[in-house]
Amino acid sequence: MEIRSKTIADAHKKVCKEIFEDGEEIITEDREVTFEYPEPVLIIIEEPLKEPRVSSFCGFGEHAMEQYTNDLLNGSDNEFVYTYHERLFEYISYDMVSSEYGINLFQDYYLNQIYELIEKMKKEPTTRRAQAITWYPEHDLLSDNPPCLQRIQCMIRTGKLHMDVNFRSNDMISAFNQNAYALTKLQELIADELGLPVGRYTHYITSAHMYFERDAEELKKFKKEVYK
């Protein structure tokens, strides 16, 4: 399914309506009931910084959105299995080095993927290789809490900075709005570093779903807003 909207808020309303009406019941690995859209969902937002950026039925207000955005861009003291800031700005990588005894060893270091993709686009404005990933196969394949966001790719086209993101899984009623809000702020940060205006934001989800029990309050607000 493809959804096109001018704003994040409008896209949020449209995608939730489609899932609410055409979703299929799926029991998750955590034994929770979800309604999942039966095919991947592609959301294209043409003016991602245009208001309204927060939908009327979103469970997070502007202050909470800004805090979530700050955590993504600058890091947080909250303890969790992973954070998107760590995966994007402090991705653990490894270099093979030789010890004084001639034995090859692996030395870990932190890779700021966002800095590197910005530098890549400065040197090669037409590049298709400016991307950042979040997945650690050795950890995430066996984790009970692997990251939902998988990949970010940026491209400069038509004089604008466009961003495409891939989610393996996305809770559309309660998480999509804050994800899109924060990631388009990241898009704005990258665009500013390049001296470019913000272009389209594309959000691709393999499993777009809603939790009917967990997000009951948001669903009530959603139904009241959409089915007046």
Structure confidence by residue, pLDDT tens digits, 191-212: 999 999 999 999 999 999 999 8
Domain that holds residue 206: 2-226
- How far, in Å, CA of 191 to CA of 196, rounded? 5
Residues 120, 95 contacting (CB under 8 angstroms): no
CATH number of the domain residue 182 falls in: 3.30.572.10
pLDDT-based confidence at 60, cuts 50/70/90?
confident
Beta bridge partners of 163: 154, 201
The pTM is what? 0.92
Span 69-81, mean pLDDT? 80
Question: What integer pLDDT is reported at residue 107 of this predicted model?
Answer: 52
Angle at 182 between CA 176 and CA 186, to 5 degrees: 135
Span 128-135, mean pLDDT? 97
Question: What integer pLDDT is reported at residue 94 of this predicted model?
Answer: 63
Question: What integer pLDDT is reported at residue 108 of this predicted model?
Answer: 63
For residue 31, pLDDT beyond 80: yes
Beta bridge partners of 35: 25, 210
Given the residues 16, 58, 148, 154, the one annotated as active site: 148
- What is the domain count for the chain? 1
Radius of gyration of the chain (CA): 19
Residue 124 phi/psi, 5-degree rounding, is: -130, 85
- How far, in Å, CA of 76 to CA of 106, rounded? 28
Q: Is 148 a catalytic residue?
A: yes
**CA-based nearest residue to 181, from 12, 15, 13:** 12
Angle at 53 between CA 87 and CA 169, to 5 degrees: 40
Residues 94-119 have pLDDT tens digits of: 654 444 545 444 456 788 999 999 99
Q: What is the mean pLDDT of the chain?
A: 91
